[in-house]
Amino acid sequence: MIRELFQRNVPGITERLQSSCIGIAGCGGLGSNVAVALVRAGIGKLILADFDAVEMSNLNRQHFFLDDIGKFKAEALGNHLRAINPYVNLDIQVVSLSPNNLKHIFENADLLVEAFDLAESKSWLIKNWCKLFPDKFIVAGNGVAGYGSFKSLHIEQAGNIVFCGDMATDMAIGLAAPRVIMVAAMQANAVIELIMEGSVS
């Protein structure tokens, strides 16, 4: 079944993706959509970490449904991912991430996807990841708010940090599904590219 599931994949990527473990810090707008894209692409293992529960206001941009309201995001997302690929290996952590538990939760990840909402949270996560795992990449979302302005979305790289987004907008102007999902797709695509070009061991 797994061979049939990925028979339309780009030739040569399935085996590489199946052997990779990706950490996702935050299972909201970016994280849930990154996870779906990676599981559809064939990633073998995901570590999902989020302490929050699904709310009605999440449904405009996050990969959740009415029946998920009140459930922990990491657990609800895990159910959806297994519905796509029952063979995916999931490590689900319902936990509030901090500098104290970051290493323990993600030490087996080949790279980390940063999918937090707040700039302060993004900052400590990136800084601590780079300190703990200087040889591992982190793919971050930065600037997903609003609508339109497709040309402003791009990727920047600084060492082992890959930024996806417009690097400018913040949540004050509101969040809509198209740009959030577009940046999540950019992050997932960046993860796959890093794996395939050998930047992820």
CATH classification at residue 36: 3.40.50.720
Work out the pLDDT band at 46, boundaries 50, 70, 90. Answer: very high
Starting at the edge strand found earlier in the chain, the sheet holding 154-158 runs: 89-93, 45-49, 21-25, 111-114, 138-141, 161-165, 154-158
CA atoms within 13 A on the CB side of 17: 23
Region label for 21, one of left (φ > 0), alpha (ψ between -120 and 50) or beta (otherwise): beta
Classify residue 45: in a domain, yes or no: yes
Helix, strand, coil shares of the chain as percentages rounded to 5? 45, 20, 40
Residue-number span of the structural domain to which 133 is assigned: 12-196
Task: Reply yes or no on whether the pLDDT at 172 is more than 90.
Answer: no
Contacts of 170 (CB under 8 A, 6+ apart): 119, 143, 145
Worst-scoring range by mean pLDDT, 2-6, 9-13, 68-72, 104-108? 2-6
Q: Are 26 and 50 in contact (CB under 8 A)?
A: yes
Q: What is the pLDDT of residue 173?
A: 84
Number of domains in the chain: 1
Predicted confidence (pLDDT) at residue 199 exceeds the cutoff of 90: no
Prediction pTM value: 0.96
pLDDT > 90 in the chain, percent:
85
Residue 3 lies in a domain: no
- Specify the higher pLDDT residue, 148 or 71: 71
In this predicted model, what pLDDT tens digit does every residue of 49-81 receive, in sequence order? 999 999 999 999 999 999 999 999 999 999 999
**Domain assignment present for 4:** no
Q: For residue 166, give the 3-state DSSP assignment.
A: coil
Largest interatomic CA distance in the chain:
45
Residue 125 reports pLDDT greater than 90: yes
**Of residues 189, 6, 38, the one with CA closest to residue 109:** 38
The answer to whether position 75 is within a domain reads yes
Task: Say which range, 29-43, 47-61, 80-94, 141-155, has the weakest mean pLDDT.
Answer: 141-155
Average pLDDT on 15-32 reads 97
Q: Is-contact 20 200, C-beta < 8 A?
A: yes
- On whether residue 2 sits in a domain, the answer given is no
Overall average pLDDT of the 97-109 stretch: 98
Q: What is the pLDDT, as a whole number, of residue 177?
A: 95
* Residue at 62 is within a domain: yes
| Residue 5 covered by a domain | no
Whether 7 is in a domain gets the answer: no
**Which token pair is 29?**
């707008």
Contacts of 120 (CB under 8 A, 6+ apart): none
